[in-house]
């Protein structure tokens, strides 16, 4: 399924009135994982109140030990500080990478802003080397703009 075909489905999931926010986010993770073959782990991390750390939110994929990530540590922690998208074509070439699984080859992290504040991020791992393009970035920015409306 193309990103263009997924956009209205993203909106439908997030506008489902009878679901709690966490349930909507989990369904969104499933939607992306099920429809984009190289999205092998899809999840959200959110800022833990005023603490400079991220906590794992809804996700789909292999379980991870990384349920709390300090700001600055790993790709997710770096995005929490930089407020910029981070695309990692080859995780083995990244010094500050936190390995979640030996099968992960590339990663993309896109920050989630609410009223101009970085409250978290969407994190996607792929078992394909150099899996993510600018089209993934634009699509995930769209996803996060829609997710932001839940907060």
- 3-class secondary structure, 18: coil
Q: Given a cut of 80, is residue 98 above it in pLDDT?
A: no
Confidence of residue 27 (pLDDT cuts 50, 70, 90): very high
Strand partners, 69: 54
Q: Does domain 3-148 have CATH number 3.30.450.40?
A: yes
CA distance to 56, 76, 109, 146, 148, per residue, from 143 (Å): 18, 17, 12, 5, 9
Cβ atoms of 56 and 41 closer than 8 Å: no
Q: What is the structure's pLDDT at 132?
A: 98
In this predicted model, what pLDDT tens digit does every residue of 32-88 receive, in sequence order? Answer: 999 999 999 999 999 999 999 999 999 999 998 899 999 999 999 999 999 999 999
- The more confidently predicted of residues 1 and 30 is 30
- The more confidently predicted of residues 17 and 79 is 79
Domain layout of the chain by residue ranges = 3-148
Provide the whole-model pTM: 0.95
What mean pLDDT do residues 136-142 have? 98
Cα dihedral sign, 111-57-105-36: negative
Average pLDDT, the chain: 94
Confidence of residue 97 (pLDDT cuts 50, 70, 90): low
Confidence of residue 94 (pLDDT cuts 50, 70, 90): confident
């Amino acid at each position: 399924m193309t990103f263009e075909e997924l956009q209205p489905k993203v909106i439908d999931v997030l506008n489902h009135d009878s679901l709690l926010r966490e349930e909507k986010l989990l369904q969104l993770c499933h939607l992306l994982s099920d429809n984009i073959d190289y999205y092998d782990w899809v999840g959200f991390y959110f800022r833990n109140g005023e603490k400079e750390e991220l906590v794992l939110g809804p996700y789909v994929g292999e379980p991870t030990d990384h349920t709390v990530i300090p700001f600055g540590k790993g790709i997710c922690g770096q995005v929490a500080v930089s407020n910029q998208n981070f695309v990692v074509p080859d995780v083995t070439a990244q010094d500050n990478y936190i390995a979640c699984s030996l099968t992960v080859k590339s990663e993309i992290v896109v920050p989630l802003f609410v009223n101009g504040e970085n409250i978290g991020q969407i994190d996607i791992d792929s078992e394909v080397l150099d899996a993510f393009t600018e089209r993934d970035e634009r699509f995930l920015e769209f996803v996060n703009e829609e997710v932001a409306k839940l907060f």
